[in-house]
Amino acid sequence: MARIRIGIVLFENSRAELERLARSLSASELGPDLQLELRALDNSPTAALEPVVADLLGPDTYVRTGGNRGYGVAHNLGMREAFGARADAYLCLNPDAVLHPRCLRQLWATAGLPDTGLVEARTFPEEHPKPYEPRTGDTPWCTGTALLVLPGAFAGTGGFDEGLFMYGEDVDLSWRVRAAGLHVRTAAGALVHHWVEHRPLTLERELRVLRSAAYLGRKWGDDAFAARYERLYEIRAGGPPEPQSPLPVPEAARGIADLAHGVRFARSRW
Amino acid sequence: MSSLPRLHVHLVAWSDEPWDVEGSLFSLVTQEHVALTVSVAVPTPLQQFVSEACVRLARLGGPVELQASTPRAWAPDAEAVTVWVAGTVAAPDQLGRALAACRAERALAVASTCRVLRQSVPGHPPYVLGKTRRFTSSTPTLPELERDPAFLGRCVVPAARAPGWFPGPAEEHRRWAAAAWPAGPVTRIPGPPAVDLPDLRPERSVRSVDDVRDVLAELRYQAPRWLERRSPVGFSRLRGLYHRLRGDDH
């Protein structure tokens, strides 16, 4: 029996959103060999979601993280706990996602391919345009919407880079997992409904993307890339971003990063 | 009983590809602000699969009635109907918005769309090779639309205008549309493409003015994105200039 710990990072979510997610978790076809454990990691300033989570996801699933330090920090907390308790995998799951009933099974099946570190579900109805190999699922990087992390990937990397508050942390983790010699894969049959196209690109969100892009450029050894996005940040924000000094990755690993395709970080199929 | 307006979707599979049916059904059960009756007609080898898929996806909840067969008539309480070919996928607000457009203008509503070119992969879902935007005129004509065999998936037809029978093969889709089209106005639903149609055209070369318009629509979408990747600062400046010239608050 394999145990998958599912970590859901919350921040002032609506009950309706969590109901949809909880329904899809209940509808999941696991089969006899999979067991789920849930953790709701709440970054909200109050514990208002605690009774909602207890009602929808069950007792003893709620954890307050103690402040909004971002997606990666909360999941690292969840992964440390999960792998410390010998979970077979940890699923980073967005609270605004809806899993197809076969999503978890398909993720787990792909996780069984040799030397797998990360497995992403395929976002639906808008699939990410980065390519993947149709049979093995090998892909340049995995998105964080529904991302299965295997113990070897966590052990080899320590999880997400906590210097990234939001956006780009999935890209960075994928590159580091690949640098550690593991594969990152798309489970094409694992569908996760995640609709964000209608969300306006607010200045705050745009600035976070730009800041993360610059951070990745510095970290992965492309200062020109970083400078472009720092300059853009300055234009959009009316002032430079706070200085960021990520620990650069070793020279030998830098070839893995794809900074030639802007903030898509891979060739696009469309 | 749901108080949401009801739409009847008839889903037809033209191939034995189970992933296409599964994807379309998943798209339908995640539609918002609309109640759906979904009937499904598939080739015999897929029948068992579809029955199971309907049970599986019904567990996600939502105001959707799924039936794995072709009924005798459109749902009597449906305000509008549409016919999808398996592989069609829509944005979650598409059918709700289409129904609103039907009601407001008492018209057949046509969504903007993308064509999705896929490659079959045995034992795996089809792999998407590319996705291109199509041109849609403000009053779409049937010849403009029916170059795509699966074109009915972008049309929502007021129930009163819908022929009473269920189209099966591609030729019947064209006949069904030809009967619905002349009976009243046709309107384009505003907004970006909301429906992905499987590209089932037997011939993909550029042969008509409509084909050229499609190419230009795709270029108009891709060119700014190419510039954004090549020169994010230059793109941002051009975007700012564009919005200033338009008098937008940006």
What number is the average pLDDT over the span B186-203?
95
Output the CA angle B105-B109-B110, nearest 5 degrees: 145
Q: Are A264 and A170 in contact (CB under 8 A)?
A: no
User: Strands, E, within chain B: which ranges?
Assistant: 6-12, 35-41, 64-67, 78-85, 89-90, 108-110, 113-121, 124-133, 155-158, 186-188, 195-198
Burial of B164 (0-12, 13-18, 19+ CB in 10 A): exposed
What is the band of B233 on the pLDDT scale with cuts at 50, 70, 90? Answer: confident
What is the second-level CATH architecture of the domain A2-193? Answer: Alpha-Beta Complex (3.90)
Chain B contacts to A (CB-CB under 8 A): 19, 22-23, 26-27, 30, 56-57, 59-61, 89-93, 119, 121, 124-125, 127-132, 192, 196, 228-233, 236-237
What is the band of A116 on the pLDDT scale with cuts at 50, 70, 90? Answer: very high
**Total H helices, total E strands in chain B:** 7, 11
pLDDT digits (tens, 9 = 90+) for A118-154: 999 999 999 999 999 999 999 999 999 999 999 999 9
Asked if B131 lies within 8 A of A124 by C-beta distance, the reply is no
pLDDT digits (tens, 9 = 90+) for A205-251: 999 999 999 999 999 999 999 999 999 999 999 999 998 889 999 99
pLDDT digits (tens, 9 = 90+) for A54-108: 999 999 999 999 989 899 999 999 999 999 999 999 999 999 999 999 999 999 9
A136 to chain B, minimum CA–CA distance in Å?
10
> Shortest CB distance from A229 goes to which of B121, B127, B232?
B232
CA distances to A100, A140, A211, A226, A251 from A254, in Å: 36, 13, 20, 14, 5
Q: Are B182 and B157 in contact (CB under 8 A)?
A: no
The reply to whether A199 touches chain B by the CB within 8 Å rule is no
Q: Which residue of chain B is at minimal alpha-carbon distance from A122? A: B125
Could you tell me the end-to-end alpha-carbon distance of chain A, in angstroms, rounded to an integer?
40
Asked if A189 lies within 8 A of B93 by C-beta distance, the reply is no
Output the CA angle A58-A63-A67, nearest 5 degrees: 145
> Shortest CB distance from B128 goes to which of A127, A197, A228?
A127
Backbone phi, psi, residue B56, to 5°: -60, -50
Q: Which residue of chain B is at minimal alpha-carbon distance from A197? A: B91
SS (H, E, C) B180-191: HHHHCCEEECCC
Flag whether pLDDT at B1 surpasses 60. Answer: no
Flag whether pLDDT at B250 surpasses 60. Answer: no
> Shortest CB distance from A231 goes to which of B59, B61, B233?
B233
Q: Are A70 and A165 in contact (CB under 8 A)?
A: yes
- pTM score, two decimals? 0.95
Asked if B60 lies within 8 A of A232 by C-beta distance, the reply is no
Round to whole Å and give the CA distance between B98 and B34.
Answer: 10
> Shortest CB distance from B59 goes to which of A101, A231, A269?
A101
Q: Are B87 and B23 in contact (CB under 8 A)?
A: yes
DSSP per residue, A5-16: EEEEEESS--HH
B92: region left, alpha or beta (phi > 0 left; psi from -120 to 50 alpha): alpha
Q: Provide the 3-class DSSP secondary structure of residue B83.
A: strand
Round to whole Å and give the CA distance between A253 and B114.
Answer: 38
A234 to chain B, minimum CA–CA distance in Å?
10
Which of B208, B101, B91 minimizes the C-alpha distance to B146? B208
Asked if B129 lies within 8 A of A269 by C-beta distance, the reply is yes
The pLDDT, as a whole number, for residue B159 is 96
pLDDT digits (tens, 9 = 90+) for A14-57: 999 999 999 999 999 998 999 999 999 999 999 999 999 999 99
Question: So where are chain A's domains?
Answer: 2-193, 203-264
What number is the average pLDDT over the span A182-187?
98
B233 to chain A, minimum CA–CA distance in Å?
5
Amino acid (1-letter code) at residue B226:
W
- Average pLDDT score over chain B: 94
Which residues is A183 bridged to in the sheet? A116
Asked if A188 lies within 8 A of B228 by C-beta distance, the reply is no
pLDDT digits (tens, 9 = 90+) for B66-100: 999 999 999 999 999 999 999 999 999 999 999 99
What is the band of B119 on the pLDDT scale with cuts at 50, 70, 90? Answer: very high
Tell me which chain A residues have a C-beta less than 8 angstroms from the C-beta of B57. 101
The reply to whether A102 touches chain B by the CB within 8 Å rule is yes
Amino acid (1-letter code) at residue B72:
R
Structure tokens given for A73: 């920090």
Please give the DSSP secondary-structure letter assigned to residue B32. -
What number is the average pLDDT over the span B228-235?
87
- State the CB neighbour count (10 A cutoff) for residue B13: 22
> How long is chain B?
250
Contacts of A155 (CB under 8 A, 6+ apart): A83
Round to whole Å and give the CA distance between B101 and A63.
Answer: 45
A174 to chain B, minimum CA–CA distance in Å?
21
Asked if B61 lies within 8 A of A235 by C-beta distance, the reply is no
Flag whether pLDDT at B200 surpasses 60. Answer: yes
